[in-house]
Chain A
C-alpha cells in the first residue's frame, strides 16, 4: 500500500507539472505570435 500512496502523490505532482509546463508553453506561444506576427516577416 505504501507504493500505492506514493503513486497517488506522483499523480498529483505529475499532473500539476504537466499543466504548469503546458501553461508556460501557452503563454510563450501567445507572446511569440504577438511579438513576431506574420505580416512583419
Chain B
C-alpha cells in the first residue's frame, strides 16, 4: 500500500506551487494566446519535472536526455535559428537599409538591464544572461544563458517568451511617454520603389555572416545558422528545404525546446527571489529597448530634414512582427491616414539582426 502513496507523501508545497505556475503558463498559452507554441510546452514540462520521483527527469529521464542533447550542446537554439532565417524576408530592410540603425539602438535595454542586474548582486555572467532578455529573441536568450548561467535558464526563457508576447502591452505606454502626438503623426516618405536584385538577396546572408563573424567570431554559430536558413530561402533552388526549415524543422524543434526548458523549472531551482528579480528585470529590458529606439530616432530628427516618426525606433526590437504592428496601430490612432507599417517592418527585421549581433558581442565581451 505504501508504494501507492509514496508519491503523495513526497509531494511538497513548493511542487504544488510549480504545478500552479505550469498551469498558469498553459492558461496564458491557450486562453490569452501568449506565445502558445512555447508557453504551453514550457508549462507542461514544468509540471512533468515537479511530480515527485518523476521518471521524465533524472539521469535517464527523456527530458534530461533532451536537455543534454539539445540545450547543453546549444543544438536546439541553432536549429531554431535556421528555421527563423528561412522565415525572414529581408527585402523591406534591403529597400531601406537606414532602418538597420534602429535595430542597433533598440538593443540598449540589454546593456542597461545588465548593469541593473549587476547592481542587484548578480555576477557578470548572470547579469549578461539576464540582460539578453532584452534581445527580445528567445533562441538568443537561451543560447547566451546556456553558455553563461545555465542555472538561470528557466526563468530567463520564461521571461523572454512572456514579454515577447506582451509587446503590444509593454511598448505603447513607453512610446506615448516619450513622444508627443505631433511626433506620432509624422508621415514618412515611402522608399519601396527600390527593387532588390536576386544577387543582392543572395549575397546579403553570406556577407552578413562574414562581417559579423570577423567582428565577433563567437557569433558565427548564431548569425551563420540564421543566415544559412535565409540563404536557403532566397536561393530559389531549395524550395523544398526552405519549406521544411520553415515548417517541419521549426515545429519539431520548438516542441522539444519548450518542454525541455520547462523541465528545468524544478521547484528548488525556480522558486527563489532571484526568479522574481529576473522576471522584473526582463520587463526593464523591454522598456529600455523601446526607449532606446525612440530616443535614438528623436536625436536623429534634430539633424534630419525629412523627419522620422520616432515610433519607428521602437520597432527596432526583435519581436517580429508584433512590434511593427504595434507601431502601425499607434500611428493610425493619431492619424488614420498615416501608414508607417513598411518602415516599421524594416526596423523590426533590423532588430532581428541587431539582437543576434548583440548576443555575439555579449559573448565576446563578457569574460
Contact = CB atoms under 8 A, between A and B. Distances in A.
Contact of B203 (A4, A26, A36, A40): A36
A7 B197 contact: no
Closest 5 CB pairs of A and B: A38-B195, A11-B111, A36-B199, A29-B97, A7-B115
B32 to A, nearest CB: 33
B110 A14 contact: yes
B279 interface: no
Contacts of B354: 18, 22
Size class of A's contact patch? Answer: 20 to 34
Nearest to B97: A29
Interface of A: 3-4, 6-8, 10-11, 13-15, 17-22, 24-26, 28-30, 32-33, 36-41
A28 B203 CA distance: 10
13 contacts: A4-B118, A10-B114, A11-B112, A14-B107, A14-B110, A19-B101, A20-B215, A21-B216, A22-B103, A25-B100, A26-B98, A32-B200, A36-B197
Contacts of A6: 118, 124
A37 B150 CA distance: 47
A40 B354 CA distance: 31
Contact of A30 (B97, B108, B127, B216): B97
Interface stretch (B71-79, B206-214, B303-311): B206-214
Nearest to A4: B118
A11 B211 contact: no
B365 interface: yes
B211 A24 contact: yes
Contact of B104 (A8, A19, A39): A19
B8 interface: no
A37 B132 CA distance: 37
A25 B128 CA distance: 25
A40 B98 CA distance: 24
Contact of A3 (B108, B124, B197, B199): B124
Interface of B: 94, 97-98, 100-101, 103-104, 107-108, 110-112, 114-115, 117-119, 122-124, 127-128, 131, 194-200, 203-204, 207-208, 211-212, 215-216, 350, 353-354, 357-358, 361-362, 364-366
A25 B208 contact: yes
B101 A22 contact: yes
Contact of B118 (A7, A25, A26): A7
Contacts of A13: 361, 365
A3 B118 contact: yes
Contact of A33 (B114, B128, B200): B200
Nearest to B353: A25
Contacts of A15: 104, 107-108, 111
Given A3-B127, A33-B94, A33-B194, A21 B115 contact: no
Contacts of B203: 32, 36
A7 B111 contact: yes
A32 to B, nearest CB: 5
Contacts of A29: 94, 97, 100, 200, 204
Contacts of A30: 97
